[in-house]
Amino acid sequence: MTERMSLSLAQADPVVADAIDKETFRQHEGLEMIASENFVSEAVLEAAGSIFTNKYAEGYPGRRYYGGCEYADVVENLARDRARQLFNAEHVNVQPHSGSQANAAAYSAVLKAGDTILGLDLAHGGHLTHGHKLSFSGKLYRTTFYHVRRDTEQIDYDEMEATALREKPNVLIGGGSAYPRLWDFARMRQIADKVGATFVFDMAHIAGLVAGGAHPSPVPHAHITTTTTHKTLRGPRSGMILCGPALAAAVDKAVFPGQQGGPLVHIVAAKAVAFGEALRPEFRTYAAQVVANAKVLGQGLADAGYRIISGGTDNHLLLVDVFQKGILGSEAELALGKAGITVNKNSIPWDTNPPLKPSGIRVGTPALTTRGMKEPEMRLIAAWIVKALDQRNDDEGLEKIRGEVAELAEQFPLYAWRRAPAPVEA
Ligand code: DSN
């Protein structure tokens, strides 16, 4: 081994090391409210940064195309067994590198090019991979969409059924990125069965809530359930597919060799650790608190006159109409960022503004709940959000809120031992 191989990151590449230090500090000192983000444990970080990154393990446990896979088999079997237990699933594939690749594999397990997908319109809370024309899903397949109702801003199952009967989709896909309400899994399965479609549910956003018993599970209803593992589920950035025995071989073949080569064994190991954490009783408490926090946060914003899309939330996220107060989502994102609160601008259903300057923001509670924040902090944060939006053109006012935010963050430490002192800008 050359001397260079044994240098620490700070010695070998100070520029990258410095960016990691600064990112660690950024994550600590602000309020992370992007609904799809979370903070993994030190144990998950350690597994994700482990020497399994060196290993090729194409194939599946016991059936690999490379030698030396005995320990890769240990971690993949653990990840599979724990995920099966967590979601009461018969078959699990833990190799997809991401949610998009999990969806690509799920489709290719049951569809051929040109077949039809019916999914929730991205503009109404869906996901790019559910048929958007710029995604592989919209290029490879014929796509049709269902929507939310104008009056309730909740899924219009009658429209979904009428569209399914008319368009005869081969896959009906549920789930999305910005939908705050419960899904009617049983009704979706009925609609899929009526037209002979495969019912795929993408539970990426809610997987942790499902695992923690704070949200009903799509797994008993869907033919195939896909997910990411890094959102509410609080694992490493990655994907996973669950299904019954009838589709197990097709799904496995679609992941490898269909979509991917060698799995990221270090990330599979980190998934095993995260699923082990999610099986613990504390995770149930966490999931329930995520939902309770979102409700309190929504109430705080509603009390200040903000319109919450669909009138509230059943999960970890809120979609807030800021345009009704004359603010663009992009302006709100910028102002809140200056105040140390990270959210993302988001289209709202039937938005009259364009996606880069939409009418809403999406706000989520998974990451702050991991830090230990509860209802009192949510009330405080709702008040800061309202104040920051009121003072959106006053940089001094926003800076003052940022100071208060940092004081709160300091009381809920994150990765304390990894944190370098506050970076000094040159
Ligand atoms: N980009 C993710 C989200 O923020 O919801 C979905 O893939």
From the CA of 99, give the closest atom in ligand 1: 7
Q: Which two tokens stand for residue 186?
A: 């049983």
Q: How far away, in angstroms, is 292 Cα from ligand 1 center?
A: 22
Distance 65 CA to ligand 1 centre (A): 33
Tell which atom from ligand 1 comes closest to the C-alpha of 228.
7
In this structure, which residue's CA is closest to atom 5 in ligand 1? 177
Tell me the domains of the chain and their CATH numbers: 47-278 (3.40.640.10), 281-412 (3.90.1150.10)
Task: Tell me the CA–centroid distance for residue 98 and ligand 1, in Å.
Answer: 11
CA of 425 to the centre of ligand 1 (A): 31
Cα 154 to ligand 1 centroid, rounded to whole Å: 19
User: Six-digit token pair at 324?
Assistant: 């009704």
206 vs 174: CA distance, rounded Å: 12
Query: Which residues carry out catalysis?
Result: 56, 58, 202, 228, 231, 237
Confidence (pTM): 0.96
Quick one: 63 exposed, middle or buried, by C-beta within 10 A (0-12, 13-18, 19+)?
A: exposed
- Paired sense of beta strands 317-321 and 360-364, if any: antiparallel
User: Which pLDDT score is estimated for 398?
Assistant: 98
Q: Which one of 127, 237, 362 would you pick to mutate in the ligand 1 pocket, going by the greatest count of ligand atoms within 8 A of its CB?
A: 127
Q: CB under 6 Å to ligand 1: residues?
A: 36, 99, 127, 177
pLDDT at res. 5: 87
Residue 177 CA, closest ligand 1 atom number = 5
Distances (CA, A) of 226 to 132, 139, 173: 17, 20, 10
Pocket test for ligand 1, best of 36, 122, 206, 362 (most atoms within 8 A of CB): 36
Out of 177, 342, 343, mutate this one to test ligand 1's pocket (max ligand atoms within 8 Å of CB): namely 177
Per-position pLDDT tens, the chain of length 426: 788 889 999 999 999 999 999 999 999 999 999 999 999 999 999 999 999 999 999 999 999 999 999 999 999 999 999 999 999 999 999 999 999 999 999 999 999 999 999 999 999 999 999 999 999 999 999 999 999 999 999 999 999 999 999 999 999 999 999 999 999 999 999 999 999 999 999 999 999 999 999 999 999 999 999 999 999 999 999 999 999 999 999 999 999 999 999 999 999 999 999 999 999 999 999 999 999 999 999 999 999 999 999 999 999 999 999 999 999 999 999 999 999 999 999 999 999 999 999 999 999 999 999 999 999 999 999 999 999 999 999 999 999 999 999 999 999 999 876 655 565 555
Beta bridge partners of 267: none
**Closest C-alpha residue for ligand 1 atom 4:** 36
Neighbouring CB atoms inside 10 A of 109's CB total: 26
36 CA to middle of ligand 1, Å?
6
Cα–Cα distance, 132 to 51 (Å, whole number): 37
Peptide bond into 257 cis (omega under 30): yes
